Amino acid sequence: MTDTYLNLVNSGFTKKIAQQLGLPRPAVLRRFRPGQPLLDGPVLVLGSGADADTVARILSGTSRAAAGTAGTDGVIDPASTIPGWDLDVRRDPAAGDRYAGVVLVLTEVAHPDDLAEPVLALGSVLKALPAHARIVTISRPATADEGPATAAARQGVDSILRSVAKELRAGATGNGVVVADGVPVTAPSVLGGLRFFLSTRSAFVDGQLLDVDTDGGALPLDWERPLDGRVAVVTGAARGIGAAIAATLARDGATVVTVDVPAAGEQLAAVANRVRGTALQLDVTAPDAGTRILEHALARHGRLDIVVHNAGIVRDKLLANMTPDRWGSIIAVNIAAQLRINEQLLTSGDFTNEPRIVALASTSGIAGNRGQTNYAASKGGVIGMVRATAPLLTAFGGTANAVAPGFIETDMTAKIPPVTRQVARRLNSLQQGGQPIDVAETVAFLASPQAGGIVGHVLRVCGQNLVGQ
Active site residues: 375
Report CA-CA distances (Å) from 317 to 142, 188, 326, 375: 39, 43, 8, 10
By CB under 6 A, tell whether 117 contacts ligand NAI: no
Residues from 434 through 453 that contact ligand NAI (CB under 6 A): none
Size of the site for ligand NAI (CB under 6 A): 27
By CB under 6 A, tell whether 260 contacts ligand NAI: yes
Q: Which residue is nearest to ligand NAI (CB)?
A: 312
By CB under 6 A, tell whether 257 contacts ligand NAI: no
By CB under 6 A, tell whether 411 contacts ligand NAI: yes
Position among 285, 291, 352, 422 found at the interface with ligand NAI (CB under 6 A): 285
- Binding segment (CB under 6 A) for ligand NAI, from list 4-12, 84-92, 279-287, 316-324: 279-287
By CB under 6 A, tell whether 271 contacts ligand NAI: no
By CB under 6 A, tell whether 208 contacts ligand NAI: no
* Dihedral angle over CA of 132, 137, 138, 140, nearest 10: -150
* Dihedral angle over CA of 344, 349, 351, 353, nearest 10: 170
Residue 48 burial (C-beta neighbours within 10 Å; 0-12, 13-18, 19+): middle
Position among 115, 157, 256, 311 found at the interface with ligand NAI (CB under 6 A): 311
By CB under 6 A, tell whether 407 contacts ligand NAI: yes
DSSP state of 19: H
* H-state helical runs in 202-279: 240-251, 265-274
Residue 133 or residue 311: which is nearer to ligand NAI going by CB? 311
* Dihedral angle over CA of 139, 143, 147, 153, nearest 10: 40
CB neighbourhood size of 311 (10 A): 24
By CB under 6 A, tell whether 235 contacts ligand NAI: yes
By CB under 6 A, tell whether 290 contacts ligand NAI: no
By CB under 6 A, tell whether 413 contacts ligand NAI: yes
The DSSP line for 160-213 is: HHHHHHHH--TT-EEEEEEEPTT--TTSHHHHHHHHHHHSGGGTT--S-EEEE-
By CB under 6 A, tell whether 242 contacts ligand NAI: yes
Residue 120 or residue 414: which is nearer to ligand NAI going by CB? 414
* Dihedral angle over CA of 95, 99, 103, 109, nearest 10: 20
Residue of 411, 416, 441 whose CA lies nearest to 427: 416
Q: Is the dihedral of CA 126, 127, 129, 131 positive or negative?
A: positive
Position among 156, 312, 355, 453 found at the interface with ligand NAI (CB under 6 A): 312
Report in angstroms how near the CB of residue 317 gets to ligand NAI at its nearest. Answer: 16
By CB under 6 A, tell whether 428 contacts ligand NAI: no
- Binding segment (CB under 6 A) for ligand NAI, from list 138-146, 176-184, 200-208, 283-291: 283-291
